Structure formats: C-alpha cells, structure tokens
A = this chain, B = another copy of it.
C-alpha cells in the first residue's frame, strides 16, 4: 500500500503551532487569531491535509453517516424517496447508506442490535417497515435517532403521505363522473412486511363510497401485488365478473398499466368501457393518458431527511411535532377517466 497522507501533527509542526490550534483553526472554532488561522489554512492546503474521518468519528462519536432502510432500492417509489433524502442529507454534510430490507428476517436482522446501529450511524430513516411498537421502544432506548416514513410509531417523528386521502381523492373522482360500481386493484393483502399503504387507501375508498351511499362489493377488490403483471391479472378477473365494474381504482400506476393491457386484450377501451385511476404519476402515466393521484416521493424523502437532521441537532420532538402529514397528493385528471374531450 501507499503511505498515508499528512497528519494533523505535520501541519502543526509546519505552521509552528500545536495540534489543538490546528484542529480549532481548521474547524472554524472561535478563539483563534485570524493571522494564525490564515497561516494554518495555508499550510493545510499546501500539504493537502484532510482530517481522517475515522479518527474524528472516534473522538467525537459522530459519524456523519445516515442509514436509510427501504423494502427495495429499485422500486419506483423508493428510489425516488432515496434520491430526495440523499440530496437533503448531502447538503448538510452527511453521507447516506442505502439498506434494502426485503423480508421480515432482514428487518429483524437489521434492527436486532440497536446498540451497534447507534455506533454505526448518526441516524436512521425507516421507510414502510412497520416495526412493532416494542422494537421502536428498544431503538429509542438505545438512543438511535430515528425517523419513520410511510408509517408511524409513538416514539419517533414520522413523515406520512395521507394515503386515506389518496384513496378518497381517486374514488370520489370516479364517483363524481357518475360511476357507481367501482373496482379496486389493491396490494398484497398479507404482505410479509405488512406495510400500511393498501389498508389506508382502501379506507379512503370506503369512506368515499360511504359518503355517496354506495355499497362496497367485496368481489370488486383484487390484489395486484403492486406490479404491472399483477394488475393485469386483477383486471382480467374484474372483467370476468358477471357484473363488472365501470371504473377501477388501481393503487399504483404500474398496476394500472397492467389494467390497461387487460382492458385492451378484452377489446375494450378506457374511459368509455372502464375508467381507471392510478396512483404515483409515474413518468409513463402520461404516455397512456392515465388519470392518477400524484405523489412526491422525492419531497417526502427530503422531508424525512430534514426531520432526522433536526433530531440529530437535538431539536426536541416536542417542538417539531411527532407526525408530519405531507400535503403533496394531487389528482391529475387525464383521458383514462375523463375522455379526450
């Protein structure tokens, strides 16, 4: 291997001061004469000196590292959440460790050791992991700075999308257009990670239906597993019903794409034969003129990151409030429901 770079001592020697002064000067601490600071900075620059982060970490106990755990790293939603969070964290000088947690086992493994976690990173963002309250208590007890996204606990700040509103928005849009028999393409009913999104959107759907005195036919709910292929199959089932729906609320755009395909295969067209509304505002939604409820996972990620930064800076939860419900959902009407006219 190669020789290590210059140490703080080299700088101190060269600048004719003590290491303490170098440390103070370079970090912008007060009580350093301007002349001294300038000289130290000059020397540091000349020697191309940088503080070794590992040493700084050991001394201060802060890592400048944050870990973000998401069910996957390459999903449409999660990758955008990550992007937003990383942006925010980087601008505050933190690096981000991406940590996929795909199964309950991985989740246990990840959370099994809060003490270690606390030593590894300055904070953690848990996205759609729905941890039980007692695990949250453990984390809290170990002093791990934590923010949750997509679900909430009683101990940590959280950022949430108002998923009930998502369901309500989509459904009442369809109702207002005159639809009475509205199908539902939902998520895995018993997903291993049991994330709460499907349930909440379903609640919004039910509420909207109830408000208009419409009955909910359990036959009209089909799981699409949040994939295009799943959405396609779900739609095929709905269309095969003796009394098929005239409109469908798909809980994600990807599933709505599958629905689109099934509708086409059946020789039908939207919105006339079946109207469809999705969720996300996927880049490709516009290509098929899919009405959708736009989410902003990037904004959510950025908000989660900001709350974590506040937490790390010692902002008490009391001042920031526990759960922040972001008002970023918005209906984007397109031809899949309102026709092209």
Given the known interface contacts A73-B83, A95-B97, A97-B95, the answer about A260 and B283 at a Cβ–Cβ threshold of 8 Å is: no
Cβ contact of A287, chosen from B1, B2, B143, B232, cutoff 8 A: B232
A284 to B287, CA, bound (A): 12
In this assembly, does A151 line the interface, its C-beta being within 8 Å of a C-beta of chain B? no
Residue pair A254, B284 in contact (C-beta under 8 Å)? yes
Q: Which A210-239 residues have C-beta < 8 A from chain B?
A: 227-229, 232
Contact string, A258-292, partner B, CB cutoff 8 A, digits 1/0?
Answer: 10110000000000000000000001101110000
Contacting residues, chain B, for A53 (C-beta < 8 A): 119-120
Contacting residues, chain B, for A87 (C-beta < 8 A): 100
How many copies of this chain sit in the oligomeric assembly? 2
In this assembly, does A96 line the interface, its C-beta being within 8 Å of a C-beta of chain B? yes
Contact string, A46-77, partner B, CB cutoff 8 A, digits 1/0?
Answer: 00101011110110010101010000111100
In this assembly, does A98 line the interface, its C-beta being within 8 Å of a C-beta of chain B? yes
A1 to B260, CA, bound (A): 54
Contact string, A281-319, partner B, CB cutoff 8 A, digits 1/0?
Answer: 001101110000000001000000000000000000000
Given the known interface contacts A58-B58, A284-B228, the answer about A100 and B86 at a Cβ–Cβ threshold of 8 Å is: yes
Contacting residues, chain B, for A100 (C-beta < 8 A): 83, 86-87
Contacting residues, chain B, for A2 (C-beta < 8 A): 142-143
In this assembly, does A133 line the interface, its C-beta being within 8 Å of a C-beta of chain B? no
Residue pair B50, A113 in contact (C-beta under 8 Å)? yes
In this assembly, does A5 line the interface, its C-beta being within 8 Å of a C-beta of chain B? yes
Contacting residues, chain B, for A54 (C-beta < 8 A): 54, 57-58, 61, 63, 119
Contacting residues, chain B, for A96 (C-beta < 8 A): 97-98
Contact string, A111-130, partner B, CB cutoff 8 A, digits 1/0?
Answer: 00101100110000000000
Contacting residues, chain B, for A227 (C-beta < 8 A): 283
In this assembly, does A15 line the interface, its C-beta being within 8 Å of a C-beta of chain B? no
In this assembly, does A79 line the interface, its C-beta being within 8 Å of a C-beta of chain B? yes
A283 to B286, CA, bound (A): 17
In this assembly, does A82 line the interface, its C-beta being within 8 Å of a C-beta of chain B? yes
In this assembly, does A80 line the interface, its C-beta being within 8 Å of a C-beta of chain B? yes
A: which residues have CB within 8 A of B?
1-2, 4-5, 48, 50, 52-55, 57-58, 61, 63, 65, 67, 72-75, 79-80, 82-83, 86-87, 95-100, 113, 115-116, 119-120, 142-143, 227-229, 232, 254, 257-258, 260-261, 283-284, 286-288, 298
18 inter-chain pairs at a CB distance below 8 angstroms, sorted by A residue, are A1-B143, A50-B113, A50-B116, A54-B58, A65-B97, A67-B95, A72-B83, A74-B79, A74-B82, A86-B100, A95-B97, A96-B97, A97-B97, A97-B98, A228-B284, A228-B287, A257-B287, A261-B287
